[in-house]
């Protein structure tokens, strides 16, 4: 190749599930072969540490004329050979402008919008990247690339004291009597259970999701309120930001969980903190049924963190129930999966042997099945195929 080929990456926001995967992928593209620029439709420029040209637009509505004009200005200035969109909103804004560039649409969702919009996207998109076979998409223009675990600079897990000192949170002393629910030494026939002292070292539970109601953060707060009710010594760290942050803060304070549940904001760009924080988690709770956040969950699993997740077709692909994590049946009744999540979380935290085995199994499973380097080579191969003269 006589010149570097230009790639424009478009994403709706850094808070979306594929944001960390895009950031790592763009940073690792060989600079001698590819020239990369990033367009973020909404949000802040929190990832300028990538050392890549990044333009952040001001998307306020689903159909935003100013955002569409902003994308057109970038296309005319940069003149990319390939436009790679990473989610549905980015795809819609990437295909409406004509040009010689090729369109790649990467999506984690299994269902496309119906009607005329589906036909328009199918006609305008040159290549689809999906995690599994989709009968709606043309097989000749579809590449299957499973979600990959985004590498983090792994470091030794911190103790609870070190972790909360770094995050500037006070450790709360356990109070009240704690009745173990699933300890095997207590036989079911016994009625005179005696309380025991709760663990002096608190369990650390993580949630990594945008703070939006559709990701069921309120359900997670209900689970934490249940754990607090039985006087379990724990701390929950919620990593992410979003439009409903104030609602969740009010709910946390209303349920008197301020000393147990901590909102850390969007810490994805602090890779060194994430590299210390993820291995320090005892369990990751994921009650969202969105398919966009598989990469973040896989990153936690690669650090040896067992996951309790809502059962979806996507989660069944990377979580082996009972071995690398626990799946909660999703029958649509929020009261059922709330209670089930609380029971499963208590069961896992109180069973140290099972938790240790899941940590080892999760790390091995991700290393063999969801390697980031393999996914990166597959995407680069798609770029090369689309940039050859015959295509």
- State the pLDDT at residue 146: 86
Report yes or no on 23 lying in a domain: yes
Report yes or no on 349 lying in a domain: yes
Residues 139 and 180 in one domain: no
Residues 180 and 327 in one domain: yes
Mean pLDDT confidence for 184-203: 46
Residues 324 and 375 in one domain: no
Does residue 120 have a pLDDT over 90? no
Residues 129 and 199 in one domain: no
Mean pLDDT confidence for 294-305: 87
Residues 133 and 201 in one domain: no
Report yes or no on 155 lying in a domain: no
Question: Tokens 């994308």 label which residue?
Answer: 71
| SS3 category, 218 | helix
Could you tell me the pLDDT band of residue 148, with boundaries at 50, 70 and 90?
confident
Structure tokens at 317: 């692909």
Residues 136 and 170 in one domain: no
- Residue 162's CB is within 10 A of a number of other CB atoms, namely 13
- Looking at the chain, how many residues does it have? 391
Closest by CA position to 151, among listed 35, 21, 29: 21
Mean pLDDT confidence for 282-309: 88
Does residue 180 have a pLDDT over 60? no
Contact 139, 291 (CB under 8 A): no
In DSSP notation, 261-328 reads EEEEE--TT-HHHHHHHGGG-SEEEE----STTHHHHHHHHHTT--EEEE--TTHHHH--BTTTEEEE
| Stronger pLDDT, 204 or 152, i.e. the higher one | 204
Report yes or no on 181 lying in a domain: yes
How many domains does the structure of the chain reveal? Answer: 2
**Average pLDDT of every residue of the chain:** 82
Residues 227 and 305 in one domain: yes
Does residue 303 have a pLDDT over 60? yes
Does residue 200 have a pLDDT over 70? no
Domain residues for 207? 160-369
Question: Tokens 């909102």 label which residue?
Answer: 263
- State the pLDDT at residue 348: 92
Report yes or no on 153 lying in a domain: no
Phi and psi of 86, rounded to 5°? -110, 0
List pLDDT tens digits, range 7-33: 999 988 876 667 778 878 888 898 899
Report yes or no on 34 lying in a domain: yes
Residues 179 and 144 in one domain: no
Residues 31 and 101 in one domain: yes
- State the pLDDT at residue 84: 94
Q: Which ranges of 114-184 would DSSP assign to H, the alpha helix?
A: 116-124, 160-167
Model confidence, pTM: 0.79
Residues 125 and 229 in one domain: no
Residues 85 and 176 in one domain: no
* Helices 352-369 and 334-350, packing angle to 10 deg: 100
For residue 143, the domain's CATH number is 3.40.50.2000
List pLDDT tens digits, range 78-87: 999 999 998 8
List pLDDT tens digits, range 50-66: 678 889 998 888 888 99
Residues 123 and 167 in one domain: no
Does residue 185 have a pLDDT over 50? no
Could you tell me the pLDDT band of residue 319, with boundaries at 50, 70 and 90?
very high
Q: How far is CA 218 from CA 75, 203, 212, 214, in A?
A: 40, 20, 9, 9
């Amino acid at each position: 190749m006589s010149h570097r080929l230009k790639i424009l990456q478009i994403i709706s926001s850094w808070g979306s599930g594929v944001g960390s995967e895009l950031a790592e992928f763009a940073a690792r593209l060989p600079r001698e072969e590819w020239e990369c620029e990033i367009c973020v439709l909404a949000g802040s420029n929190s990832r300028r540490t990538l050392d890549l040209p990044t333009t952040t637009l001001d998307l306020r509505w689903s159909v935003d004329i100013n955002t569409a004009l902003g994308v057109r200005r970038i296309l005319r200035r940069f003149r990319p050979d390939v436009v790679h969109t990473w989610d549905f909103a980015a795809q819609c804004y990437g295909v409406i402008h004509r040009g010689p560039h090729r369109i790649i649409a990467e999506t984690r969702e299994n269902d496309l919008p119906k009607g005329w919009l589906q036909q328009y996207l199918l006609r305008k998109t040159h290549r689809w990247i999906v995690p599994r076979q989709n009968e709606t998409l043309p097989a000749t223009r579809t590449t299957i690339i499973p979600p990959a675990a985004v590498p983090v600079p792994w470091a030794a897990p911190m103790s609870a004291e070190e972790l909360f000192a770094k995050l500037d949170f006070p450790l709360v002393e356990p109070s009240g009597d704690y009745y173990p629910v699933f300890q095997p030494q207590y036989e079911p026939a016994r009625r005179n259970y005696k309380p025991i002292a709760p663990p002096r070292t608190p369990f650390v539970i993580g949630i990594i999701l945008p703070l939006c109601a559709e990701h069921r953060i309120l359900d997670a707060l209900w689970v934490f309120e249940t754990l607090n009710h039985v006087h379990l010594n724990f701390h929950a760290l919620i990593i992410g930001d979003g439009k409903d942050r104030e609602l969740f803060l009010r709910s946390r304070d209303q349920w008197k969980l301020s000393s147990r549940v901590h909102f850390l904001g969007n810490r994805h760009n602090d890779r060194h903190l994430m590299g210390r924080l993820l291995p320090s988690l005892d369990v990751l709770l994921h009650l969202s049924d969105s398919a966009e956040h598989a990469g973040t969950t896989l990153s936690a699993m690669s650090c040896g963190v067992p996951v309790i997740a809502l059962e979806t077709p996507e989660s069944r692909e990377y979580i082996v129930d009972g071995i690398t994590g626990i799946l909660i049946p999703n029958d649509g009744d929020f009261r059922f999966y709330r209670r089930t999540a609380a029971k499963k979380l208590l069961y896992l935290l109180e069973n140290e042997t099972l938790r240790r085995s899941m940590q080892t199994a999760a790390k091995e499973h991700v290393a063999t099945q969801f390697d980031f380097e393999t996914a990166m080579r597959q995407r680069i191969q798609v770029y090369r195929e689309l940039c050859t003269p015959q295509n």
